[in-house]
Structure 1
Amino acid sequence: MLELAILGFLADQPLHGYHLKRRIAQLTGHIRPIADGTLYPAVKRLERAGLLTRRAEPGTRAAPRQMLVLTDQGRAELNRRLREPDELEISDENRWFVLLAFLRHLDEPAARDHVLRRRLAFLRTPSSFFYDGDRPVRAEELTDPYRRGLLTIARATSRAELAWLGEMLGEPVEPA
């Protein structure tokens, strides 16, 4: 998820590490704040792999700033990751949001639609946070108001996403 966010934000524009960290935190920070000890090793791995490079630019007050720049190889890797997301990037809401934030960088409409259809198939699979054996428990069956609230909120979120997916794919999508 972190590497995808780094590649995605650098596809938008070259960034100084500080600004990259802020953008990632704004996208994912309410869930997973990012520490320097997490970000900069990932940046170095991507740099060693030839996916990004550093470019010195004049600083506003003092020393030159190191800007992180996506390479052509990095852009190709971003496209590969967007075209072929793993199952967690489709099923995990936080990872899905990171993927979705950069899906516009995938040039082929059919490839974008394929990713959206994978998410749609996932959302159409019956699931719950709570089960009675193997059977998903519906919100209406719960006596605990907090668990019922959790399922009610999740259902409303899924319905909104299903409607959006239908709009994006140009076809009606029945709510779950």
Structure 2
Amino acid sequence: MLKLAILGFLRDRPLHGYELRRHLAALTGHVRPISDGTLYPAIKRLEADDLLVRTTEPGTAAAPRHTLHLTEAGRTALLDRLRTPEDLDISDENRWFTVLAFLRHLDDDPRAQAAVLRRRLAFLSEPASFFYDGARPVGAEEFGDPFRRGMLLIARATTEAELAWLRETLTALDRA
């Protein structure tokens, strides 16, 4: 997801490494903090793959600043990843939010956007639970444990809100 997020933010506009790190931290929050030891090697790999380039500009103090720019190959890689996210990108909520954060970059292709949303809709429409009794999912109503019951009730409310949003957005995209 780091690659997708880097490409997505650089599609928005060129950024310095520090700015990019701040944007990534805002997107991933406390769930998946991005360290310099993770970010800068990822930037170097993307640069080696010609997906981004680095330019040097004068800094506000004495040190020069490196600005990262998306290349045409990087733009293509981003759009390809958005059109065909991996199954885990659809099922994992944190990865899904990263896809959603940049799905607008497919603005010239509402059918592709709708196809991605339909995959998420199909995933959410499958019965699921955090807890199982053998192979059978256990519903919130069956728990005497208020904490597990709370987990299931919160998850159900979140899923219902997302399903409503998905259906509404799909209707709008289908009209486009």
| TM-score, structure 1 normalization | 0.95
Q: What's the offset of the Cα at 1:63?
A: 2.2
Q: What's the offset of the Cα at 1:29?
A: 2.5
Structure 2 residue runs without a partner (length 5+): none
| Partner in structure 2 of residue 35 of structure 1 | 35
CA distance in 2, matches of 1:57, 1:117: 43
| Partner in structure 2 of residue 174 of structure 1 | none
Matched, 1:167 2:168: yes
Query: For this pair of structures, how many residues does the alignment match?
Result: 171
Moved over 6 A (4+): none
Structure 1 residue runs without a partner (length 5+): 172-176
CA distance in 2, matches of 1:70, 1:59: 20
Larger mean Cα displacement after TM superposition, 101-110 or 87-96: 101-110
Matched, 1:105 2:105: yes
Larger mean Cα displacement after TM superposition, 74-83 or 49-58: 49-58
CA RMSD of aligned residues (A): 0.9
What are the residue-to-residue correspondences of 1:53-68 with 2, within 5 Å?
Answer: 53-68=53-68
What one-letter code is carried by the residue in structure 2 that aligns with 1:155?
Answer: R
| Partner in structure 2 of residue 96 of structure 1 | 96
| Partner in structure 2 of residue 119 of structure 1 | 120
Q: What's the offset of the Cα at 1:57?
A: 1.8
Deviations 1:123-175 (A, max 9, x none): 0000000001111110001111000000000000000000100110118xxxx
| TM-score, structure 2 normalization | 0.95
CA distance in 2, matches of 1:86, 1:30: 23
Aligned to 2:127, what secondary structure does the other structure show?
coil
Percent of matched pairs sharing the same residue: 68
What one-letter code is carried by the residue in structure 1 that aligns with 2:112?
Answer: A
Aligned to 1:62, what secondary structure does the other structure show?
coil
Deviations 1:25-52 (A, max 9, x none): 1110220111000001110110000000
| Partner in structure 1 of residue 147 of structure 2 | 146
| Partner in structure 2 of residue 49 of structure 1 | 49
